[in-house]
Structure 1
Amino acid sequence: MNQPVSALIRATIFVRDLARSINFYRELGFNQTYFRGELEHPSATAVLGLQHHHPYEIAIVKVAGPNFGMLGLFQLAAEQQAHSLPLYNGPARTGEVALIFYVAALDEVLPKLKAAGALWLPEPQLFELGPIRQREVCLRDCDGTLINLVERDPALQNISGPELEF
């Protein structure tokens, strides 16, 4: 083993409505189900730091290809009484994380995401950094998670060196 850590394998979003969230991310292109089921063992809540165990439903979705960059969609049981963040439908806030994805065509995917329940969806902007000029947009999914979509060839995710020389 030559490296001490892997690339990001999966981000997990704790969702209010699992079916709605699955549909939202399918519209973005997460068309494969890596796992769908109920987490029944007490370790599933203990690892989250929750005091009492209640089984809960999850789905892990992904795009075609290697098993990294997946999304876990976890709907905690109502009996868990976990603290729920208020829905937010505005710009980025200090301390939050944005999920960033390359998409081939913003004009094709944005209407689908709006129909699937995007809470905030402003107009795409032209982002410029050195010689790079690309359209981007930040939006909120149906649970208020911040997503940044970058209009670039999704195959560019496989570049293993810097995209720019600074």
Structure 2
Amino acid sequence: MRCYVSSLEHLGGSPMKVLIYGRRAVASALRMTLPLALLIGLATPAMPAPAPAPAPTLLRASLIVKNAADSIRFYEQLGFRIELDQSNARRPEGNPFPLNTPSTAVRLVILGSSTGDGGRIGLVEFSAPIPTDNRANTRRTGLGDVVLVFDVANAEAVHQIFLKSGADVLEPPQVYVSSRTAPDGSPLQGRVFHVRDPDGYLIELLEAPKSVAITLDRARGDSPSPAAHK
């Protein structure tokens, strides 16, 4: 292998010697220096993947209502209380909210659970003029509709409250069977029914599933509910 010595002018003006090797020597030198560069940190390490952005926080579900007072009375039956109630003038010109009428007044009511658990409901009442209704006048629920689901301790008791208040109750509480089972393998059953609020929004009242006392039923000579076999 031949080795040649040459000299170049350094950027600072002083001579600098450079050794020029043959092709095989250069390849061998690269194989030796690359692992060394990795060991001493000269090589650029792979950058870690960026952390995913956190999901935004859902502040509340807001409903556009005709009469906030009626809606407040309805949701108070579920244990909600007023956290905020404010009315303001509204300038429809240049307002980014896509309302279908140039309403000049708005009332915002925020309801929260009396226990502090769960989410919040916003009631938004526009007036002067009142917005037009975009939803079809139908009892059936379809695309674009909203369903608010509430967890209740006793579906039958809540059902009686809404019946006495004259609410639009769609059916009595129905038994449903959960896909989960109790530790002993017995089925879990709950109750559910539906009601519409004063503006027609569909409300689902869901009593969490509980263990079915099959052993007690059999001791009395009874059979489990037919729904338990579904």
TM-score (structure 2 length as normaliser): 0.56
CA distance in 2 between counterparts of 1:34 and 1:58 reads: 11
Larger Rg: 2
Runs of 4+ in 1 over 6 A off after TM superposition: none
Deviations 1:58-83 (A, max 9, x none): 211110326x6111111110x23421
Query: Which of 152, 171, 178 is the aligned partner of 1:129?
Result: 178
CA distance in 1 between counterparts of 2:102 and 2:78 reads: 34
Q: Cα RMSD between the aligned structures?
A: 2.8
Aligned-residue identity in percent: 26
Structure 1: segments with no counterpart, 5+ residues: 154-166
Q: How does 1:1-166 map to 2 (within 5 A)?
A: 3-6=54-57, 8-30=58-80, 32-42=81-91, 46-50=95-99, 52-63=102-113, 64-65=115-116, 69-77=119-127, 79-85=128-134, 90-131=139-180, 132-152=188-208
> CA 1:128 to 1:95, structure 2 compared with 1: closer, same or farther past 3 Å?
farther
Higher relative contact order (CA 8 A, sep 6+): 1
Structure 2: segments with no counterpart, 5+ residues: 1-51, 181-187, 210-230
CA distance in 2 between counterparts of 1:29 and 1:92 reads: 26
> CA 1:49 to 1:26, structure 2 compared with 1: closer, same or farther past 3 Å?
same
Query: In the alignment, residue 143 of structure 2 is paired with which amino acid?
Result: T
CA distance in 1 between counterparts of 2:191 and 2:77 reads: 19
Helix, strand or coil: the match of 1:33?
A: strand
CA distance in 2 between counterparts of 1:115 and 1:86 reads: 28
Q: Which range moved further: 14-23 or 48-57?
A: 48-57
Instruction: Tell me, yes or no, if the aligned pair for 1:18 and 1:73 is still in contact at 8 Å.
Output: yes
